[in-house]
Chains A and B, each alone.
Chain A
Amino acid sequence: MSNIPLIEMRDISIAFGGIKAVDHASVDLYPGEVVGLLGHNGAGKSTLIKVLSGAYKRDAGQIFIDGKEVAINNPRDAKALGIETIYQTLALADNVDAAANLYLGRELRTPFGTLDDVAMEAATRKVMHRLNPNFRRFKEPVIKLSGGQRQSVAIARAIHFNARILIMDEPTAALGPQETAQVGELIKQLKSEGIGIFLISHDLHDVFDLADRLTVMKNGKVVGSARTSDVDHDGVLGMIIAGKCPPGAIPGPGALQSAA
């Protein structure tokens, strides 16, 4: 792996009212790498990646891509930099169909400037087939789909536009075992194509199976980071629950000081 990280988020802070949702957090990601983000509910994982995806404006901190500082002020900026996101809430427009969601903000158009719905539907059928071969309901507004089908649509949208950096916020939370396995395969394949992936998950098995490294957050701060090969489940659980860094991990600002 190269020495310059694909993404480096340095000293990111953001507060909502009095709550420091993210407090001087730093994470990085290399090409072809999967980094798992872990932490208790409300630890600040989603908020941190929403800063990267342009959904939130950070209060402080810097973001570097390929070593160069970038300005990400809104979701358009992030997409222009090749950052695609699967949000925890999926962020789908409920009243339009899968194709309209897949292409939302990037619609295909005919030479006359009108929406090319047929072409969009055709492409959507192709991507969806890769993720969820049983999916047939292309004409339904996505609100009528099951939770897992909706998640498939959100994943399809993220992978369809040649992302360099993929953010997955609990992408398999609503998926059945077969579909989860399929997403796992997909992650491995994307990784082999050199895409960097942030994977937020509460499932330690998934993280150990898919991630190269992991970063644990607690109360908005980074407890520590480690290569998945250097730590075990119990060590990581200790980081998540007690904020205690095991020997193989590099402690961050949120690590329990007495443990150091």
Chain B
Amino acid sequence: MSKQQNSSANPALTDDGPIRRFLNATEIDTRMIGMIVALFAIWCAFDIASGILRGNFGGLLGGSFLTPRNLWTLLNQTASIAVMTTGMVLIIVMRQIDLSVGSMLSLVAVAGGVLQVYQLGPSLGVGHPAIWVLAIIAILALGTAIGAFNGYLTAYAQIPSFIVTLGGLIAYSGVAFLLAKGETVAPMDKTFKVLGGTIPASWIGPFWTWTLSFAACALIVFAIVNGRRQRVRFKFPLRPVWAEVTLAALGSIAVLGAAAVVNSYAWPPKLAENYAKENNITIPPGVEDKAGDAICMAGDAVVRCLEGLTLGTGYAAPVLIAFAIGAIMSFIATRTRFGRYVYAVGGNPEAANLAGINTRWLTVKVFALMGFLVGVSAIISSARLDAATNALGALNELYVIAAAVIGGTSLAGGVGTIYGAILGALLMQSIQSGMGLLNLPAAFQNIVVGTVLVIAVWLDQIYRRNVK
């Protein structure tokens, strides 16, 4: 557990109920449990509601939300915001804000698009393998540079970051518009598109999904064992063994459960048919059923059916990128000196300064990191859309900040977790997709998302007051 959370057992409360004893022993962040419960509640509600309004599409509760297809899509849609919100956590923890991430995303995506479509494509030949590499490098470098510029103005010119990035919000989208000449820049390089999650080449399939998931489980067990060994080495109080085992089991169940869900989402029939034909895979005969995800031969025609050939998609590239970024950012936040300094500055900037931390340079680095992550999200978004426009990142800053705040990041600074923010992003995207499934108009969706943000922060305040 990280240092920033309050996770210690209160010695005064020894004769509590089993739930509290369990929470104390495992040192699980109770706020996170609250978020996960809320997330499942929302999912179930949408599944039931969509079942009532639109009929059963194979959802767990008779609707269309809790289906592999919808959950798979949900993960893909969350990836871009989730990546950026991990950086926003550090920015907000440091008592800063970055309002420019949406415009910055548009700008770097358009720049990457222009580079691929108008520069490298004609000069190297469309589809040249250097194109996607150069485009990615350029996008990440430009994002990092713009972020560092924001940070420089904040730290050294001492302009409040709210103003610096408000200016950026307005100005960067203007630059993006000029760069794109107001047009949609498309299509992206075909290898670049793999990072968007929309084409078969970006799905890793069941084998690799299981492999990575088991590796993740091994990592969870290793982390728990290693943590325990360290505490034994220094003779610190230990968590009870049953608590450690429970933690490892819960973590592994979550990881493997998610893998099972994404693996059970089958390739769309048309793509599966093409793939089978190209690779000489025989499609078994069967009876047509439009509700099925598999394909089979009914006479000479390839049709949908319940039993037959299915190709599991497994995780798509954007989700893997988001997982990787989440893990790396968590590591940075809790295990490195850089992360420790970010939290220390957020807790007391004056004290951090007196402790010899170069807070200005740290500010530049945090904003630069944010810019880098915006670059990652720009790659995901433009590859997903197969195009870059100057409106690609519109309103993203608000979703990114909202996700961080819903995830428990305090605007007062010093408090926030990466996993919380990612859960926040997932929660917000769930609400949006759910309302999309219910065919609610966009205006209504905005009202609900805004309301959820305010309620989430209100509940958080109550939680923090009572947890003490």
Contacts and interface: CB of A to CB of B under 8 A. Distances in A.
Contacts of A109: 337
B211 interface: no
Given A115-B336, A118-B231, A140-B6, A93 B354 contact: no
Given A93-B347, A95-B347, A119 B234 contact: yes
Given A55-B354, A115-B336, A96 B234 contact: no
B233 A92 contact: no
Interface string A6-17: 000000000000
Contact of A93 (B234, B331, B348, B358): B348
B7 interface: yes
A95 B343 contact: yes
Contact of A91 (B8, B230, B233, B351): B351
Contact of A85 (B236, B347, B354, B414): B354
A117 B231 CA distance: 10
Interface in A99-117: 100, 104-107, 109, 113-115, 117
Interface stretch (A37-45, A73-81, A203-211): A73-81
A87 interface: yes
Contacts of A87: 354
A235 to B, nearest CB: 35
Contacts, number: 96
Nearest to B233: A118
A185 interface: no
A106 B415 CA distance: 22
A117 B356 contact: no
Interface string B321-341: 000000000010001110010
Interface centre among A89, A90, A96, A140 (most CB of B within 10 A): A96
Contacts of A85: 354
Interface in B268-292: none
Contact of A121 (B236, B344, B352, B415): B236
B371 interface: no
Given A95-B414, A104-B352, 12 more contacts: A87-B354, A91-B350, A93-B345, A100-B3, A104-B355, A113-B336, A114-B331, A114-B335, A115-B337, A122-B234, A140-B8, A141-B6
13 contacts: A79-B356, A93-B414, A96-B3, A96-B4, A100-B340, A113-B336, A115-B336, A115-B337, A115-B340, A117-B3, A118-B231, A121-B234, A141-B347
Interface of A: 53, 55, 74-76, 79, 85, 87, 89-97, 100, 104-107, 109, 113-115, 117-119, 121-122, 136-137, 139-141, 143-144
9 smallest beta-carbon distances between A and B, as pairs: A95-B347, A95-B414, A93-B344, A105-B355, A139-B8, A93-B347, A91-B351, A105-B356, A104-B355
